[in-house]
Amino acid sequence: MRARQGQAPAWLTDIPGLLRLQRSFLERWAGYSRTVGDLAGSGTIDPGDWIEGYMKFWSDTIADVGEWMRESQGERRPPDEPLRVYRAQVQPRQRTTSFDIDVPNAAFGTPGDRRTKITLVTDGLLRKGGGRMLDPHKNVTFHPSVVSVSDPRSSLKLFDLLNVVRAGDVYRGVIWTAEKTVPVAAVEVDVV
């Protein structure tokens, strides 16, 4: 929506929205400051932990600005389904494990661009702190990998884990759709 000549853009006149955006920014900054304080207090030197908090702060802040810009122009987005986080535990000597994944309706697309089937993919599960990952070609697969809107379920299978994982390891990753790179779920695997 463009402003007419001599007229301020809609987002400039959205004072209540601007105040909500400022409040959101300050809340996110306070949360990030707490994260930094917790990391410093724990004495962690893992750069991944520090970078993760910083990137989350900016990612959330940029999303807030985009949402504010859309709302100030009269666009409304349907509420997103929250991204589910699936957690699993494996033993260091366990060779395989699996757990069910419920694919959210939003992964199949919007009403104007809806698919009846999608393919689940992952780039693998990264080990917290670095090191060997659980590779999608060697340790991670989906059964079935193609799911339909009428039966939106699959299983994430982890295999050949012996001599790969160690007690105390934590692996994290994201499941995506191959067709439009839409996030489906987050995964966290603790080795106990």
Q: Which residues of the chain have pLDDT under 50?
A: 1-3, 76-79
User: What's the CA gap between 97 and 88, in Å, rounded?
Assistant: 9
Domain boundaries, the chain: 10-72, 84-191
Position 7 scores a pLDDT of: 59
Q: For 10-65, write each residue's pLDDT tens digit.
A: 555 667 777 777 887 888 888 888 888 888 888 877 777 778 878 887 887 887 78
Position 125 scores a pLDDT of: 93
Just give the CATH number of 84-191.
2.60.40.2310
